[in-house]
Amino acid sequence: MPKEGLKLKALTFLISLGFFIYSYVTANTLAPWLALLFWGITLFIMYFFRDPEREIPPGEKLILSPSDGKIVAIEKVPKLDFLGSPGTKISTFLSLWDVHFIRSPIDGKISYYKYSSGKFRPAFKTQASLENEQAELGIENHFGKVVVKKIAGVLARRIVTYLKPQEETIAGGKIGMIRFGSRVELILPEKVELKVQLGQKLKAGETVVGVFK
């Protein structure tokens, strides 16, 4: 569990323990229910920050899903300077019940990082891609380039990125996370054969999204 999760878990556990002690000392009838409420929140935080092992499929040309979740849009995008060509954007919505660690879709180097402040609209809506707080990573290797965009939602108000420009990453390696519901977009260049479809459920680091031609 990342340190952010440990802090939240410790805080809610201590609050729960405090209410239990208070109810025992004072015989207050409301305190036990508040203690149970915060204990439930503690259990949810432990569940949310879970980090299950993933079986990374072998293959240098494979492009893996950067996130868990459901594909809510697949659309063409105009030429991007980083990709050097038009591309395809695959948008995935992560519910509260999905694992929220973000993984690198390919082996390669972080070529750029861009953070943009913004709104906190529902992450499943198209406007979230343009208006919400977000962080964008460009990753490249000798087969090609991809862009991973992490977008905050109504509840997701904390985007965490583990790597900096010029650092190396491996396919399926953790590159960040988003707290409490969000949207992740993977933008691929033209020279990629897609292996997914609209509405498909993805697993970060396991599902093959595309293959470099």
Active-site position among 67, 91, 129, 182? 182
User: Both tokens of residue 27?
Assistant: 């015989």
Neighbour count for residue 7 (Cβ, 10 Å): 12
DSSP 162: -
Contact by Cβ (8 Å): 72, 93: yes
Q: Distance (Å, rounded) from C-alpha 196 to C-alpha 199?
A: 9
- C-alpha to C-alpha distance for 128 and 1, rounded to whole angstroms: 28
| Whole-angstrom distance, CA of residue 170 vs CA of residue 82 | 20
| 91 counts as catalytic | no
Describe the strand order of the beta sheet including 101-103 as a list of residue ranges. 101-103, 174-178, 159-161
Catalytic residue positions, numbered: 182
